[in-house]
Structure 1
Amino acid sequence: MQDNKETPERKRERLRQEELKRNPTGSLNDAFNRANSGSLVDLVGSLGWKGTGILILVLIIGGIIASIFFK
């Protein structure tokens, strides 16, 4: 019953924690890479769908402005 009311964010985090408990050294390389560059999945997960849409729009508009400015 708890799984039906669990949000996607909480489910992702729960699955990630379970994977870390099962295989702590297997994700060591991923942890080092994530610490250096960040993770797009974590960014999108924390922003939600509205924030992700706004981020995409800002990137597209920024690209258009940059292409006009540097033409």
Structure 2
Amino acid sequence: MSSDNETPEERRERLRQEEWKNNNPGGVFNDATNRTSNGSLVDLVGGLGWKGTGILILVLIVGFIIYAVFFR
């Protein structure tokens, strides 16, 4: 697929993969180990899209407000 026909999401993923290939192998292994145990915000946001990300942020804000009102 040429870069002219790439969606922004595909381009981000391609650039991320290229960056991983150019990095220090030990650092990449450490990042991969941490990412598998914790997840990645980039992967989460990339999978959700902008609407899902907005809803996630809204839920976090509302959850924090509810926590602040009832448990403080």
Q: TM-score, normalised by structure 2?
A: 0.81
In the alignment, residue 5 of structure 2 is paired with which amino acid?
A: K
2:63 — aligned with what?
A: 62
Greater than 2 Å deviation, 4+ residue runs: 15-24
- 2:6 maps to 6
- Say what the alpha-carbon RMSD is for the aligned residues: 2.0
1:31 and 1:63 map into 2 onto residues whose CA distance is 30
Runs of at least 5 residues in structure 1 that lack an aligned partner in the other structure = none
Percent identity over paired residues: 68
Structure-1-length-normalised TM-score = 0.81
Alignment of structure 1 residues 1-71 onto 2, 5 Å: 2-23=2-23, 25=25, 26-71=27-72
SS in 2 for 1:27: helix
**Structure 2 regions of 5+ residues with no counterpart?**
none
Point out the more displaced range, 20-29 or 61-70. 20-29
* Count of residue correspondences: 71
